[in-house]
Structure 1
Amino acid sequence: MTDTIHRCRWAQGDARMQAYHDEEWGVPIRDSRALWEKMVLDTFQAGLSWRTILNKREAFRAAFEDFEPERIAAYGPAEIARLMGDAGIVRARAKIEATIRNARAFLAMQEQGEDFSRFVWSFVGDAPQKGDGTGSAARSAAGDALSAALKKRGFSFVGPVVVHAWLQATGVINDHEATCFRR
């Protein structure tokens, strides 16, 4: 008799997605820079499948200089043109420009003494929030509130659906399905 490991439906049938699910997705992240990197990737995922972004993640890291916000914040027309010509990433000007604005907003928070991780986690009382176990929620109250707060701080392309997906990916919200071994 073999034991069956139950995973979220979206992670079944694809070895890379399964590994991402088992090792990364939903693991609580408390490091501001790691949260920032995941936010950039979730911004690019908007309207696309996560599989697309996961397959291009290393190309994104190279194109965006390991997601170093100080470097990205200084990007201008030449860097935007370079990124628009990079077939290894998603070449969406609005998302590229949002990433630059978001790097500047991230750094502005730091300059004002506001820790990004503490800010994010404050929306769930500093403890992972459990989803309903269905894996089908596209939004959450925490995501809606954080989306609005990020926009007030100058972030863009951080609507409630994008933010909720980001909170799921970073373990701020545990949205593994009820039967998933990771729940």
Structure 2
Amino acid sequence: MEKNELLKQADSRMEGAINSFIKHLRGIRAGRASPEFVEPVQVEAYEQRQQIARLATITTPDARTIVIQPWDKALLKNIQKAIVEANLGLMPVVDGNLIRINLPSLSEERRKELIHVASKYAEEAKVAVRNVRRDIIADLKKIEHISEDEVHSLSNKLQTVTDDFTSKINKILEDKKKEISSI
């Protein structure tokens, strides 16, 4: 692979890490009820793990309620269990053929927990970005007909890109912390 292609690949993969981080942050409750709180939760269904969004209709009939209606009623208990195990601070209740989640007001303690979860997601995103840097540098070293000086120069460029993405992650995290704290 050519060195310019590797740098483009690094940028694309690092952007993917940020997009994944943003998607995880959307699942952190910081306002009115949203299907995004539970959509990414993985449920054991049909001998594999799947997201709730692939197994049910998720609606928010009001600002404090999430309703999950599985297409297969046999999955009610699995979905309920997965939400509890996801440690989102939500208490799902089976109500006939659907699951109802009433969102409580956020206490100061819960806000701190949510900020901690957001920080954990940020750290995972930073690790992903650093892993991309490590992989690309390893690939650069494998290219034939490239000098050590050129590898060093490209590694420095890659470090600058890594630092930029890390700064973006920190900015997104700070915005989310403010959102959680200001509710």
> Smaller-chain TM-score range?
0.3 to 0.5
Greater relative contact order (Cα 8 A, min sep 6): structure 1 or 2?
1
Provide TM-score, normalisation by structure 1. Answer: 0.36
Provide TM-score, normalisation by structure 2. Answer: 0.36
